[in-house]
Structures are given as C-alpha cells and as structure tokens.
Structure 1
Amino acid sequence: MQDYIRTLRMLNSTGTSYLDNISYMYYLYDSLGRLTLQGEYTGKNPSSSPTVLVQSYYDGYGFVGGTGLPTGQFTKDTSGYGRGSLTGSAVTVFGSSTKIYKAFYYDIKGRMTKSVQNNLLSGYDITSTVYTFSDKPSGVTHTHTASGKTTRTEVYTYTYDHADRISKVQHSLGSTSITLYDATYDNFGRLLTKQYHGTSINKLTYAYNLRSWLTGISGTCFTQNVYYNTGVGTAKYNGNISSMTWKSGNESTVRGYKFTYDGLSRLMNATYGETAGINTNTNRFSENVTAYDKNGNIKTLQRYGQTAASSYGLIDNLTYTLNGNQLTRVDDAVTASAYNGGFEFKDGVKQANEYVYDANGNLTKDLNKGISDITYNVLNLPTGVTFASGGFIQYGYTADGIKRRMMYKEADGSGNLVPTVYCCNVVYENGVAKLLLTEEGYVTLSDKKYHYYLQDHQGNNRVVLSSSGAVEEANHYYPFGGVFASSGNVQPYKYNGKEYDGKKGLNLYDYGARMYDAALGRFTTVDPSAENYFNTSLYAYCGNNPINRIDLDGLLLARILIYKVL
C-alpha cells in the first residue's frame, strides 16, 4: 500500500505485515521538496507512535552539537559551501537506541571534501578527498578509529593519463605504500591491461570484439574466453554468450560451458566440458533448467557434480512446487550427494509448506535448511535467523539499509555470540580487526599483507592472489553461483563479489537489498524494485539469465558488455 501527495512524492508506504499489525513508513519533506524525515508508525494515526528512522539536514551545520549528535570530530563549517546540499544525517540502528551520525563538508565548487561518521565501536570513520582541476579525486584519505583499537589511516592516490583516465592507483596504510594497480587503454578507450601490486606476475590483458563486448581476459593465474557468435556453442547474435572457457589458479585444466536459451533469453542448459573444445569430461558440472512457469519461476532444475573421489553424476534433480511466485516445496529425485560436503541442494524434509512467507513475501521458514524462523525489519531486511538446532544469526542494519553488524551463536549451549562488525571498509571479527577492504581486494590487518581478486566478466572472484603472485584461493562457479570446485577458502567474497554466509548451513549470498540462494536460483524476498520488472517473477535471479547479467545489489540487474570501466 502506497500513498502519494499531489506532487508525486511518496507520503507513506506499508512496511511490516499489514495483516497482523499495520505499520507504515512515513516521509516528510521541506519546502524545497527535500526528504527530511523518514520514519515508521503503527496504525492509521501518524501521531500515535511515530519512530524517526532517518533525519536529514541541509544547507548548514546547526545540527552539530544538538539533536544528540556528539561534538568532537563533528564540526560546524561557516563557509556556506554546504548551501543546497545534504550536510548531515542521523540514522537509527534497528533494534537499538544507537544512531549513526554523519556530516558532509563541501568546497566552493560543491564537491564533497570531507565526511565524518561514528561507528558501532565507539569510534569514527573520517574520509577526506582532494580533487583535480577536472573534478576527479586525486587523493582520498580515510581514518578509522574504534575504542581501544589501533587508529588506521589509509590513503588512495590517483594518477590520470592524457585522456583523464585512471592510469595508476597507489594505496598506503600507515607507513606502507604500494601501487594497487596500473592500467592502460587501447585506441578506443577500452581497458587493455591491469597490473596489480606493481608486478607483471599479476597482470591481466583484456580483449574485445567490434561491438566492444568483452571476449577475453588473459593472465598468468586466470584466463577466460567469452564467445557470442563464435566458439563451439550455437552462435548467438543477440548478445547472449554461447560458450566460454576459463583456467584458474595453478590448474592446467581448461574448463568451459556451452549455453542454450529459450526464446526469452532465459538460461536452459549449461553443458560443462573441459579443453578448449569443451568436449572432454562433459557434464561433470552441468546445470540445466528444464522448465519455467509462465511467471518466470524455475520449475525443474538438474545439477551435476562430483559424487566420489573419481566419480561424477547427477546430484540434484529438483522439482519446485509454487503458490503463485512463492516457493512452497522442493523435491530432489536423486539420493546421490556431492562429494566431501560439496555444493548442492539439501533436501532436509519432505512435506507441504517447506517454505513459509510473511504477508510481505519474505521467507520466514526454510525447513530444508533447518531454519525455523526468520524475522525482518521494516525495510524487509533480516534481523534474525533461528535454526531448529538451537543456533541463531542476528543482523544489525541501519535504517538506510546498510549492514553494520552480524552475530551468530552455535548450538553448543555456551551462549557465546561471535560478532562481525562492519565499519565502512574495516571488518572486525570477534572484536579483532581482520580485513581492510580495498578497491581490488583486501588487506589482512594481522600482517598488513595485500591480497587481490582476479575477476571474470561478471565480477566473480575467481582467484585470490597474494602480492607476490601466489594463488591463495581459486573458485569455479555453476552458472547460478554455486561453487563446484575450489582450492583454499581464505575470504568470504565470492560470486558477483558478494559476501557468502555459510554459517550453520545458511548458504546465502548477501546482495545488500536481498539474500540469494544459489542452490535454488532464487532470492528469498520480493524485489524492492518489482515495478521495474513486472514481466518476471519477484524472486527470479537476473531474469533467469545469470550468464549475461548480474544483479548489482538485489535491486537492479545489468547486462554484461564490459565488466569494469575505470
């Protein structure tokens, strides 16, 4: 349910389950039409129990020192450069009295030069930016503090070529300074080479066709060839990929898939094979959708995998039972399991209503995974996952939809909670700063060593390299995102570069706005941007074309032509 005022700005919208207890989101605007308050109330009377979730400030800094915002790192700027711009906000952490306060500062040209925000560890994250004459950042400094923890300062320095394209990115952390990557371009302005950590060992070269579609990535530790109207697959002239091959890590094996689609460009068959001809060891890791319903929901799916030390075969033969677009049951017709705990669908129960949803279309039970309850906040983001075994996972989001904290408890009776806290790009695990995420990978903070992602055409993290070029992790993916083979498991960011949560068998990718189940090829909640994709299921992943498209954040799918433009 959504109401609009005459100027077509949203006034309120139904948030939590309106069948149980009507809850509304309200939005208030200033005289210039700028959103100033966003909140929640229950019942038809907005003044009965309003809760402010997001408060936004414009033009000046009178809010500093008031409305609960602490002084110290937050200062008042009297230059007047913030006039007409967002200068601050106060964002509620769901399930807590804590707020994340932010202040934004600008120069005479209206460019943001500094941002300050507090974090959940009683510290601050301060980012300052210096610009070139063409308004591109030449330097970005980020300082992170946390109570009782080491202060960390990182600096990005950007160098541009004659065409104002990034040619070098340098990164320093404390006294350590390195070249994150160097980039060159071809005569058409397309990314030609990318060299990590200043060494040719970590170099990738990109190739394109006449339409500037990516056709190849080549390097010492990762190569990929993408075919549209050429290669061993059935030629496609509409932009769909007909086949692809790749080689990852230290392997000598060339792996590949041949793809077929239906008339709506939905993936039907992904036939696996090895060697450049994709004709050796065929079907070892094939993934086939044998039927869709008229709403674009997968009805049947077959998946092949490793069944023993040297055997391969069908590991999933799934039949989906649906009520409208909602999945209610999945039956697996094969009893073979993936070898050594490998990726597959786990058919935990056989009964009606294995999957249950609330009135907003959010998945609340998944009995096949042993999940007895999932709760959500007003943004339809999960707040807790309870397992029948007794363990649970808790999530802490701010009202702007950013995940700030995750805690899980094992079912061992200890009651101990293991927290993960996200402070901008610094990730803490169990109170210890573990990772500093960079533009091209991450730094392990225990030893300050740099690690780099080698990505395919979709941004899937295929290989993790050390700064010296050693392969630390290599992943091979099914078309819908499951990892069918890997060496090493040193970090959680995998398919599409999204964080994979395998704790307690949850086995979901966090896309930001929604969680994705690669074993089923479906999201667990309704698309928040469903009005833009009315011709397909609200739970479908990438319009059922996971080869040629990616979902950026659970809200927007994008077609792949060139994966990354600098």
Structure 2
Amino acid sequence: SGTIWKITDPRGSGPGDQNYTTTLYDDASDRETKMSYPGGSNQQWSYDDAGNLKFRITVNGEEQDFYYDNRNRNNGTWWNNFSNNIVDWRYFGHDAASRLTEAENGTGGWGANVISDVQRSYDAAGHLTQEEQDLYGVYPVYVNYPSYDDDGRLTRMNVSGVSTYDFTYSYDAMGRFEKIFITNGAQLFQYRYDAASNETERDNIVNQVNQVYPRDALNRIQYMNVVKGTTLADETYSYDGMNRITGVTYNTGPADSFGYYLDGELKTANLGNLGHNITYNLDNKGNRTGVVDNNVNSTYSPNTIDQYTTGAGLSVTNGPEHEIQTYNGVAYSYINDERLTSAGSGSTIYSMVYDALGRCVTRTLLNPQGNPRPTPTPRATPTPPQSPTPSPTPNNATTYYIYDGDKPILEYDATSGTSVGVNLYGKGVDEILERIAIGSDGAWYTYYPQQNHEGSVTLLTDPSGNVLERYRYDAFGAPTIYDANWNGRSATIYDNRFLFTGREYAATYRGIYTTPSFNFYEYRARAYNPKLGRFMSEDPKLFDAGDYNLFRYCHNDPEDLTDPMGTQDQNFTGLAPREVSRMLADQDNGNAQWAMAKWADSSNNFQGTFSQFATGQSLSMGQVGQGMRVERAIPIGGRRDPLLNGRTESNLATMADPVQKMARSLLYHARADLGLDVRVIQGTRTYAEQNALYAQGRTTPGSIVTNARGGYSFHNFGVAFDVGLFRGRSYIEGGSGYIGVGRLGESIGLEWGGRWRTFQDIPHFQYPGLTLDVVRARFEQGLSPIAGY
C-alpha cells in the first residue's frame, strides 16, 4: 500500500540491524497501530469503527483515551493514570458548524479540579468574536474580536475591562497587514512591503525607531538595520548557493561565519562577537558526538534511539517516556509523554500548567530556600486593571497568562490579581512589538523589542528610542546579555524572557526573579535546551514532522530554520522565519490534536504522513520560483503521470488567462520540485452554483462549506482556484504538503488563502492584490476582472 514499514538508522549495518531499526505496524486500513523502537520499547494506537483514534498507549505503558460525538468530532481526552499532579482530562465542545466553542481541562479524574475553561463565540460569517478565558474558576477575562473587514480580515481586538488594551488594524490596497492603532487614537506601528510583497520595514511611530530589512533578487533578507537617525544595530547577511546564511557582519564588533555539512546541518560556527570558534561533529543521524569550542572538545554520547546519555561532557538521565529527566543539576518532569511541567534545581522549583489548547496559563516559582511562596487562592479575582499597577513583592510567585491565540498578552499576579506584564504583538506569533513589565528594581518599564532575521530579540529600545539592553546568541540560542554599551550582564534587568526566535526563556521568570540554572526555552509543545542544541523530548508528531531524529532542532540548521510550535521546523525563500511561523501557529490555534495524540496517522488530522512530508522537504524552496515552466507530464513516484487530468483541465479553462498560467506553473513546480501530485479541484463558479453551495448546510442537506453567496466569492470571476493533493486516485485531506504548495504558490506570485489572518483557506489561491467590489463591478460590466491590476 506504500505505507512505511521500517526505518533503519544510517548508523546501523543495514535493514536487518534491529539495534537501529524502527518498525511500524499497520491495520487493514493502513492506520498505524504500533511503533517499535530499537531496543524493544513501543507505542500503540487503536481505532473505533469510524476510524477515530480510540486510545493510545505510551512508551511507558500509560493509556490516553479519546472520545467523540455522533459527528466524529473529538470532544474529550483522558489519561488513565490520572492524579492531582498532572493535567489528565480535556473536554472540547463544538457548534453546529463544527467550530470549537469550549475547551476545558483539569486534574484528578474526569471533570474534577478544573484548571482552565475556554469558551468561544462566532458571528454569522464564522469569524471568532470572543474568547472567554477562565483560570481556576477566577473571574473570567474576555478577549474580543469585534470587527472584520469585507474580506474577513480582523480590524479590531480588545480585552474587556482593560481600556488600554484596545487596538485597531488596517490593511493596504493589496490586502497586506499594514498598521496598528490605539482604537480611536494614535497610530503605533506600520509595516512596509516591496513590489513582490516581501515585508521590508517595520516602523515604530511612538519612538521613531525603524527596522529595515530589504530583500535581494531571490527575496532573501539583505540586512537588518535598526535606525533612529543613526544606526542602533545592523546585521548584514551573506548566503551560499543553497540560500543558507554563511555570514553575518555587524556594525559593532567582528563578524560571524557558518559552514554546513552536505546535508545542510550546521558544521562550523565562528562567532566573532562572542569569541567562539565551534565545530559540531555529528553522526549519520544528526546526533552530536563532540563539540570543539576554541580547540576544547566536549563529548556527547547518543544511544540507539538518539537520546544523549552524555551531553557536553555531563551525564544525562533519560526518563521512561523518552524525555530528559536530569541534566546539569536540573530535574525535569512531564505530563506523561507530553509537555514539560516542572524543573527543579536544589530547592528551587519552576512549574508550568497548561490549558486544554496547550497554552501555558500558569507559572510558579518556589523560593530558593525550598519554601513554597503562597499558593493562589481559588476564585481570587485578578480583575484586569485600567493601567499597570506594580506589585513586585517577593511573595508573589505564581503568574496567570491571558492569550490572543497562541500569544500571551496579559500577565497577572495570581495572589493580588494585579498586572505584572502586558505584551502587544505584530504579525508574527512570536513578534512582540511592545512590552510593559516590572524590572529588577521594582519599577515599570515600557520597551520595544527589535528582532533579527530569525525573530530573535537583539535589543530593547525605550519610548524615546534609546537602547536599554542588547542580546547576542550562539548558533543554537544560548543568550549573552549586555547593557546598551555592550557591558555584560548576568541576566536581563527588564523582565524580558522573549529571546531566541522570540521564544520564552525560563531563566527569566519575572523581573525580580532570575533562575539561571533553568536555561531552557519553552517552544509550546516541547522544551528546548540550547546547550545541547536539541529538544528535551520527542516530537509529538513523531516521524510525521519530517525528521527521523525525533529530538533534533530544525534539522541542525538553527540559522535558517525556526520551530515556533515545537512540532515542525519551517523556512521558505522570500519569508523571514518569523513570518512563516505566524502562519503555522495560526493553523494550530484551536486545534490541540497534535498535543493530544502524538501522531498516530494522517487520518486523524495530524498534517500528513512522514513520507509525504519527507518528499516535500527533499528540495530547498530556493530551487523553485525561478521562472514559469509548464509541461504536460513529469515523473511521480517513478512513473509517468499526466500533469493535467480531465477535471484539472476543465477547471483551468474557466480561469482568466493570467491566472490559468500561474496555476499551470504551480502544478508543474509542485511535481518537479516538491514531488507532489497537485490538481485543481475547484475553478470558476457561476452565481447560481455559488448560491447552491452557500445553501448547503443551511437550507439543503450537507455541511456548511462557504460563507459567500453568489457574487461574493473570487471563485465567481475566474481569478481563484482550489487545489487538492492526491496519491494515485486517493485525495489527501490536510497535511504538510499543502503548506509547501502554499509557499510555492506565493513564490510564483499568487495570493494564498493559508496566509489570511482570520479565516484560513489552505487549498485556495487567487490572483494577487484584488478587491472584491472592484472585481465584481468590472465583471458585471463585461470587463476583464483583472485588467489594470
């Protein structure tokens, strides 16, 4: 059937070497039922008669059960080894249109000890209008999305009761996200783009600091210049023929240079500013065997399932669920084989609690003497203040977090209910534009993070445009902190925990607490250790994420790739990694499946299969978009397969000529460069056909599939089409392949529905820069709908 049966580690002697072979077992429907690791440990999955995942058994023998309603929608999960110490149950509710309306979780058995209850509301068009977040039964906080434009783009968001957190968004004539305003007030930020729609500048209107990052002919960032009259910081990038960064020069201090193995993994990093000349020695699986830093070698010892037993010369103890249990004096614990829940060093304990959507909603620090600081009182009332009120007393060790999607926007002390942090985000899921927080001196500070090409924060500026603090990183993200004049600091003094790729660094808890031994990052689904240069537990998607080493960070290419969710690394030519990351995170928002079931198979919406993803990743996206080429047929899976089947050809014929040419180019390049069989499954629809489709699920049988009536869809004017991925005659619904095709379409010049901020339409493409009212008016006048664009 073409499903993967065995994966043999290149370190082994061949397919028969059981010490290095992972075996996958399928049922008659090609669903994974068992995965056996080298050494004999295994995971198992079982399904109900409808094909839904019924339960899974972890490597350590723990069972997680899954429940579904009569429409096969997942409405609950439960761990059999429940206790009051782990998050063991989740409940999900849906409306008639299958939109998520509630996500609740807790500990100690089904329905007990509620941690978080999230409830969502939608308007008639399906837009999210409100998310109620209720932690531990405290007074709920309402995050509101009250208005959208005619194209479904969010134009305003606010938080009830917090008058200072109310923002309005606007878009340019081509539909690109452009400006952020205080609602009914001043403009705060603005994005700028080049003719190819690459983001090239971000302006801070408040402190007049501009971040400029123009693109070269291959859409790669040439440099990152932070300027206010004079240059505050500057990084200039050089690339090799595979679009990998090989050098970074700075306006201050010596340059950095990077070298790569033939498979793209980082081999050398000469970090001029930090004074390190590093060589990473790797085995054939991408595990480190040694790191030579300034001629001093530190050893690493990987086992047969890619865990380190020694890392940087220090012993590593691995737990029963294939996770790091102790390393460098820190002990770690997890929710079975899911997220990290605590880190302990001596008497200091740092703990994390998550909601049903996988967001960290509570962090607690126990004091260095081992005495717990006061536990938050259930149903304490953290009423959002009208403006931040400082409360930097040493007894407040627990913090609650309120989210906009996957982005923490408000932080409250759990005991007093007062604000301890406020964050305003830009386009990226980890792109903080403004933060208000309490510094180590107990005073409030407002500052603006500036980022580099991969979204790592490199400096903070104040409301007057002065530099407050600077940061440099080694290749894998270990931070070095400086004051404005490059004098070293042991920790941030401004409570900035957002560092490498914009992720949260556990060594900074709150402004008055620093925990330097907890030197790991929280990458949502997993924790990441920059000293080891890898994740601390297996990928929740297992092989479905496209890497046969389940611990490796970004295929060992941290200069060019990022992984904001901890589940799949991403980078595409023409987009900075932080731009890519926002789209991935938006897809995962509201879909906790990857956090609940650890892969199983693609029938459970886990974004494709390993073989499909691996095929899509075999070529760099730098190899596509070199010009339009259209051919009738190319090899697929070693066979000749017609590029244009009858349905595709019929749909193409309904499109305007420029759109048809771009669609043909997309189909060709998807096959030639990604190895994917992509077909056009929807082309132009008449008004009557659109109205019939709109009636489905409303006045006629079926499910709702569109919110657009006749004349209100770009499909009605020959300028849009939808694609599907196929394996032979079988349609593939969802999967990582669609993401690669989406980026490919953008490189050709198409607008991709997967980039849309609110209602994402992953299979959808259309001619760029169109306005629906103008296109419809021209069409109804008998004119070309895209003439003049």
What letter corresponds to residue 471 of structure 1 in structure 2?
Y
Of residues 65, 78, 88, the one that matches 2:76 is 88
What letter corresponds to residue 136 of structure 1 in structure 2?
H
Tell whether the 8 Å contact from 1:508 to 1:517 is kept in structure 2 after alignment. Answer: yes
Query: Which position in structure 1 is the counterpart of 2:101?
Result: 113
Matched residues in 2 for 1:523 and 1:419: separation? 18
SS at 2:88's partner residue?
strand
Of residues 13, 28, 32, the one that matches 1:6 is 28
Normalization by structure 2: what TM-score?
0.53
Query: Which position in structure 2 is the counterpart of 1:406?
Result: 342
Of residues 225, 250, 269, the one that matches 1:301 is 269
Query: Which position in structure 2 is the counterpart of 1:58?
Result: 68
Query: Which position in structure 2 is the counterpart of 1:232?
Result: none
Query: Residues 294-344 of structure 1, C-alpha deviation per residue, up to 9 Å, x if partnerless?
Result: 333322211122xxxxxxxx510112233322212222227xxxxxxxxxx
Give how far 1:288 is off: 1.4
- Call closer, same or farther: CA 1:41–1:519 in 2, change over 3 Å: closer
What letter corresponds to residue 360 of structure 1 in structure 2?
I
Query: Which position in structure 2 is the counterpart of 1:241?
Result: 221
Residues 251-330 of structure 1 aligned to structure 2 (within 5 Å): 253-273=231-251, 281-283=252-254, 286-289=255-258, 291-305=259-273, 315-324=275-284, 325-330=286-291
Of residues 417, 422, 426, the one that matches 1:451 is 422
Matched residues in 1 for 2:363 and 2:550: separation? 37
Give how far 1:7 is off: 1.6
Matched residues in 2 for 1:321 and 1:142: separation? 47
Tell whether the 8 Å contact from 1:89 to 1:101 is kept in structure 2 after alignment. Answer: yes
Residues 405-554 of structure 1 aligned to structure 2 (within 5 Å): 405-410=341-346, 416-424=347-355, 425-430=360-365, 431=375, 432-439=397-404, 441-446=408-413, 447-448=418-419, 450-453=421-424, 459-461=430-432, 464-465=435-436, 470-471=446-447, 474=460, 476-478=471-473, 480=475, 481-485=477-481, 488-502=493-507, 503-505=515-517, 507-518=519-530, 533=546, 539=552, 541=554, 544=557, 546-547=559-560, 551-554=564-567
Give how far 1:176 is off: 4.2
Give me the identity figure in percent: 16
Matched residues in 1 for 2:426 and 2:478: separation? 16
Matched residues in 2 for 1:409 and 1:484: separation? 21
Tell whether the 8 Å contact from 1:179 to 1:198 is kept in structure 2 after alignment. Answer: no
Tell whether the 8 Å contact from 2:62 to 2:81 is kept in structure 1 after alignment. Answer: no
Query: Residues 359-412 of structure 1, C-alpha deviation per residue, up to 9 Å, x if partnerless?
Result: 2112332245xx42232443x443x2243xxx323222244x233x213122xx
Give how far 1:461 is off: 4.5
The answer for unaligned runs of 5 or more in structure 2 is 1-22, 366-374, 376-396, 439-443, 450-459, 461-469, 484-492, 508-514, 583-755, 758-789
Task: Determine which structure has the larger strand proportion and give its number.
Answer: 1
Give how far 1:482 is off: 4.6
Matched residues in 1 for 2:354 and 2:564: separation? 24
Tell whether the 8 Å contact from 1:247 to 1:254 is kept in structure 2 after alignment. Answer: yes
Query: Which position in structure 1 is the counterpart of 2:180?
Result: 194
Residues 113-262 of structure 1 aligned to structure 2 (within 5 Å): 113-119=101-107, 122-145=113-136, 151-158=138-145, 159-172=147-160, 175-195=161-181, 200=186, 203-219=188-204, 220-221=206-207, 223-229=210-216, 237-247=217-227, 253-262=231-240
Task: Determine which structure has the larger helix proportion and give its number.
Answer: 2
Give how far 1:478 is off: 4.5
Matched residues in 2 for 1:506 and 1:470: separation? 26
- Call closer, same or farther: CA 1:319–1:495 in 2, change over 3 Å: closer
Tell whether the 8 Å contact from 1:119 to 1:125 is kept in structure 2 after alignment. Answer: no
Matched residues in 2 for 1:164 and 1:358: separation? 50
Matched residues in 2 for 1:544 and 1:92: separation? 38
Matched residues in 1 for 2:316 and 2:364: separation? 25
Matched residues in 2 for 1:406 and 1:394: separation? 6
What letter corresponds to residue 423 of structure 2 in structure 1?
Y
- Call closer, same or farther: CA 1:460–1:361 in 2, change over 3 Å: farther
Query: Residues 36-64 of structure 1, C-alpha deviation per residue, up to 9 Å, x if partnerless?
Result: 1101368xxxxxxxx443101112xxxxx
Tell whether the 8 Å contact from 1:523 to 1:540 is kept in structure 2 after alignment. Answer: yes
Query: Which position in structure 2 is the counterpart of 1:24?
Result: 42
Tell whether the 8 Å contact from 1:259 to 1:267 is kept in structure 2 after alignment. Answer: yes
- Call closer, same or farther: CA 1:161–1:242 in 2, change over 3 Å: same
- Call closer, same or farther: CA 1:386–1:533 in 2, change over 3 Å: closer
What letter corresponds to residue 508 of structure 1 in structure 2?
F
Give how far 1:213 is off: 1.2
What letter corresponds to residue 29 of structure 2 in structure 1?
T
SS at 1:245's partner residue?
strand
Give how far 1:486 is off: 5.0
What letter corresponds to residue 34 of structure 2 in structure 1?
N
SS at 2:501's partner residue?
helix
What letter corresponds to residue 433 of structure 1 in structure 2?
T
Query: Which position in structure 2 is the counterpart of 1:385?
Result: 326
Query: Residues 410-438 of structure 1, C-alpha deviation per residue, up to 9 Å, x if partnerless?
Result: 2xxxxx35242323242231344314143
Normalization by structure 1: what TM-score?
0.72
- Call closer, same or farther: CA 1:479–1:244 in 2, change over 3 Å: farther
Give how far 1:13 is off: 0.7
Give how far 1:189 is off: 1.0
Matched residues in 2 for 1:141 and 1:518: separation? 35
The question of 1:397 aligning with 2:338 is answered no
The answer for unaligned runs of 5 or more in structure 1 is 43-50, 60-81, 230-236, 274-280, 306-313, 335-346, 411-415
Give how far 1:514 is off: 4.9
What letter corresponds to residue 345 of structure 2 in structure 1?
K
Give how far 1:12 is off: 0.6
Matched residues in 1 for 2:499 and 2:478: separation? 9
Query: Residues 264-289 of structure 1, C-alpha deviation per residue, up to 9 Å, x if partnerless?
Result: 2222111112xxxxxxx352xx3211
Tell whether the 8 Å contact from 1:461 to 1:495 is kept in structure 2 after alignment. Answer: no
Larger mean CA deviation between 432-441 and 319-328 belongs to 432-441
Give how far 1:167 is off: 1.1
Give how far 1:455 is off: 5.9
Tell whether the 8 Å contact from 1:92 to 1:98 is kept in structure 2 after alignment. Answer: no
SS at 2:272's partner residue?
strand
Give how far 1:111 is off: 2.5
Matched residues in 1 for 2:505 and 2:303: separation? 24
SS at 2:213's partner residue?
strand
What letter corresponds to residue 287 of structure 1 in structure 2?
D
What letter corresponds to residue 279 of structure 2 in structure 1?
T
What letter corresponds to residue 205 of structure 1 in structure 2?
Q
Matched residues in 1 for 2:352 and 2:553: separation? 30
Tell whether the 8 Å contact from 2:82 to 2:107 is kept in structure 1 after alignment. Answer: no
Query: Residues 84-139 of structure 1, C-alpha deviation per residue, up to 9 Å, x if partnerless?
Result: 31121103679988552122223333333222211589333111111100111111
